[in-house]
Amino acid sequence: MDSLDAAAVALVRAGDRDAFRPIVERYSEMLFRLAYRVTGNEADAEEIVQETFLRAYRKLDTFDGRCRLSTWLFRIATNCSLDLLDRRNLQPQPFDADPDEDENAPEERIRSHQPDPERLAYNSEIQANIHAALQSLTSVERTAFVLRHVQGHSCEEIAEALNVRSGTARQSLFRAVEKIRKFLASAMRPAV
């Protein structure tokens, strides 16, 4: 743990509430970025940042210093994000049965080289579909996917953050990718 974090933690534990300020100032933006990516919503991300610090302050006695403070805060923020997603009841939307995977697969269409304006429109269609695909994931799948795909955390780190076994974290990631793949294949299948 770096010296500023260690000093701040020791002082807060000794009853100096204001010593928590440098921790808040240091990690707010990092937590906001994480929370925004998981929830996709600015107001929710703000709420998660605050809730993370409040939980961290109340549980600071349980922080044993074996990991970095930023890692510990990241885990709390991940859990706060999951709680919020569950509270919002973001349930998977029903999607169609298995599409024809061989013909007109979305991967083929993404790879194709089309004229620029058409390609731009197509890309925005893809992004809209990706957004919808993400909405179709459960809160755990979405969090695992965002942490792995966007934030670059390993499956081990994700497992620790979600407080599950490594295999469970991997399965959440696999399910997320599979659902996204199917969703995109279904959404981008040309109408017959």
The per-residue b/e assignment along 36-56, b for 16 or more CB within 10 angstroms, e otherwise, is: bbbbbeeebbebbbebbbebb
Cβ contact 70:27 at 8 Å: yes
Say how far apart CA 39 and CA 48 lie, in whole Å: 9
Say how far apart CA 36 and CA 47 lie, in whole Å: 10
In the window 64-83, what residues touch other proteins (CB under 8 A)?
none
Per CB under 8 A, 111 contacts other proteins: yes
Per CB under 8 A, 42 contacts other proteins: yes
Q: Minimum CB separation from other proteins for residue 98, in Å?
A: 14
DSSP state letter for 96: P
- Name the segment binding other proteins (CB under 8 A); options: 66-74, 75-83, 86-94, 147-155: 147-155
Of 70, 83, 105, 186, the one binding other proteins (CB under 8 A) is 105
Say how far apart CA 153 and CA 143 lie, in whole Å: 11
Which residues are at the interface with other proteins (CB under 8 A)? 2-4, 6-8, 10-11, 13-22, 24-29, 32-33, 36-37, 40, 42, 45, 49-50, 53-54, 57-58, 105-108, 110-111, 126-127, 130, 134, 146, 148-150, 154-155, 170, 173-174, 177-178, 180-181, 184
